[in-house]
């Protein structure tokens, strides 16, 4: 697999095999389309000295492994902040919509604020003899799962709903194109629900309908660290919360709203 997508024309992208999620060869993992929409917003009338600050993806239904048409519009203009929206459609039907704030970069001499962030992220663990791919019951392995490498620090699938892991994509979003820091982050950030998966998907479904990522700093390098926690309350719903980092330290947070249900026979 060479990439997640192949560009067909200015606004149309063919979804390749690598986009297929763990539950079906016909439906995409939300990470690649989130990154594709962020790419479109980053490139829409770019202004020097600005950056994306957050990306909120709403998943309108299963995103098919099929050509996607991407449209971008400016919802709010301004000198210091702009609100952008990007929509992915297939066969004329919207399947995902993302919004992002693009803001003016902070001055280099702006005071550093660290909140309660812990110091000492640690390095990416070395490779081991165990699998570096996610292992989920009944998963479709010949897609997204095959092109993401994981290095777990603690926790993981089936270990109680928490996980800390470094991940990186093994193929670019588009052929011969270096992924942007935002693209690298979003390709992985939607996997918070996967690396913490504890419920048996044959008995219960725990699937997100959105993804919201906020970064106060652009990540550096190809590896992104995810410290994820899954929550579910019977009779109500669930969330997955992720602290994102690179080798320098924490860069931001991710949040997924989870739809928790009994599996349909």
- pLDDT tens-digit series, residues 155-183: 988 888 999 999 999 999 999 999 999 99
Judge contact between 223 and 166, C-beta under 8 A.
yes
Residue 22, classified by CB atoms within 10 Å of its CB into exposed (0-12), middle (13-18) or buried (19+), is buried
- pLDDT tens-digit series, residues 138-156: 778 889 999 999 999 999 8
- pLDDT tens-digit series, residues 104-116: 999 999 999 989 8
- What mean pLDDT, rounded, does the chain reach? 93
* Cα–Cα distance measured from residue 223 to residue 217, given in angstroms and rounded to the nearest whole number: 15
pLDDT band at 129 (very low <50, low <70, confident <90, very high): low
- pLDDT tens-digit series, residues 225-258: 999 999 999 999 999 999 999 999 999 999 999 9
User: Residue 57, CB half-sphere, CA atoms under 13 Å: how many?
Assistant: 30
Residue ranges and CATH numbers for the domains of the chain are 5-105+130-262 (2.40.160.210)
Res 127 pLDDT > 90: no
Mean pLDDT of 49-69: 97
Structure tokens at 58: 């709403």
Dihedral of alpha carbons 221, 73, 28, 157, sign: positive
Res 128 pLDDT > 70: no
pLDDT band at 131 (very low <50, low <70, confident <90, very high): low
pTM of the model: 0.94
- pLDDT tens-digit series, residues 202-233: 888 889 999 999 999 999 999 999 999 999 99
Res 199 pLDDT > 60: yes
pLDDT at 157: 87
């Amino acid at each position: 697999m060479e990439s997640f997508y192949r560009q067909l024309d200015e606004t149309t992208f063919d979804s390749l095999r690598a986009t297929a999620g763990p539950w079906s060869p016909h439906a995409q993992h939300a990470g690649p389309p989130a990154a594709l929409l962020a790419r479109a917003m980053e490139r829409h009338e770019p202004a020097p000295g600005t950056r994306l600050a957050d990306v909120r993806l709403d998943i309108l239904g299963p995103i098919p492994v099929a050509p996607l048409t991407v449209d971008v519009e400016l919802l709010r203009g301004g000198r210091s902040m702009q609100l952008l929206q990007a929509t992915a459609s297939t066969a004329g039907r919207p399947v995902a919509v993302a919004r992002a704030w693009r803001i003016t970069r902070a001055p280099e001499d702006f005071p550093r604020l660290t909140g309660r962030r812990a110091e000492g992220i640690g390095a990416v663990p070395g490779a081991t003899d165990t699998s570096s791919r996610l292992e989920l019951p009944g998963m479709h392995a010949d897609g997204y799962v095959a092109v993401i490498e994981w290095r777990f620090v603690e926790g993981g699938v089936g270990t109680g709903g928490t996980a800390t892991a470094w991940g990186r994509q093994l193929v670019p979003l588009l052929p011969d194109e270096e992924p942007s820091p935002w693209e690298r982050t979003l390709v992985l950030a939607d996997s918070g629900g996967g690396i913490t998966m504890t419920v048996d998907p044959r008995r219960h479904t725990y699937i997100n309908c959105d993804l919201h990522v906020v970064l106060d700093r652009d990540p550096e390098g190809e590896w992104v660290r995810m410290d994820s926690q899954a929550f579910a309350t019977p009779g109500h719903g669930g969330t997955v919360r992720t602290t994102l980092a690179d080798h320098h330290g924490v860069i931001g947070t991710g949040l997924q709203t989870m739809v928790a249900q009994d599996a349909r026979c």
